[in-house]
Amino acid sequence: MKKEFDLIFGIGENCDTSSILRMNNLQTNSYPFDWLGNSKFTNNIDIIINKFNDFLNKEDLEIVLNTNNKDNDCYYNKRTQLFFIHDFPIGKNFETQYPFVKQKYERRYKRLLYKINNSKKIMIVYITKTPEKIDNIVSQIKCRKNTLEKLFPKSEIYFLYIINSNEEKYIYENHILNLKIIFDEISNQKKIINFFNIKFSYKKNISKKIMSSYRLKMTFFDIINNFIYLFKKFIINLIPNKRIQIELRHRNKYS
């Protein structure tokens, strides 16, 4: 039987987490960590605990070199240690773009905080290829879980921490039961996997191995919202002009 949740959202390590959740109908809305890079687990939990105060101040942003993305400039946030890799199109003025990006993220984190406040059972998902030692993770989660449940007393919070690594086996069933932490491991024959450039077929393997165990409880509005998103995506893919297609896909993806 699938484990059902009122809210499922990802907090990194990068944007593939949100893509995997959407592929498996576990996410229907956009949230603040969906399309960010180099997102650290404990850092992002602390951002939620602080309710996204000073999340995107202009003075905290600095442009950095990004060889993996030819469509957007990459900005590093010195305060939050997050990389904004999909939000500032190359060739467009930063001062002009910043207010729209700020509004977009305010919309996303207000949406997330509202949903956390109004969801009884929540799963927070993190996928990493560079995990810390399990004892450290358990200790950090235990501390932050207590803080989160004080902030959101109506919510029952679970963590799905997926380790994309072949180097070590992790079996911590007692911790899982006591702290509601679900540790899972993605096995693969390759010794080194660059998750940032992950292939679609490998995402499918993740889906079959792990995500099929969970289900998002969707309201009528969520179902309609997901249908509109998928329908727009289908129509955009039919547009022959590649430049227009990319622009529309960007707008649809990052609402």
| Whether residues 241 and 167 fall in one domain | no
Q: Of 31, 80, 33, 88, whose CA–CA distance to 54 is shortest?
A: 80
Task: Please give the model's pTM, rounded to 2 decimal places.
Answer: 0.78
Same domain for 192 and 120: yes
pLDDT over threshold 80, residue 5: yes
232 & 208 share domain: no
> How does the average pLDDT of the chain come out, rounded?
77
Residue (of 102, 96, 49, 104) closest to 77 by Cα position: 102
User: How many alpha carbons fall within 13 Å on the CB side of residue 241?
Assistant: 4
Q: Do residues 9 and 27 lie in contact, with contact meaning Cβ atoms separated by under 8 Å? A: yes
The reply to whether 171 and 231 lie within a common domain is no
- Write out pLDDT tens, residues 165-206: 544 443 333 333 333 444 444 333 322 223 333 333 344 455
Count of domains observed in the chain: 2
Structure tokens belonging to residue 228: 């509109």
Domain that holds residue 119: 3-217
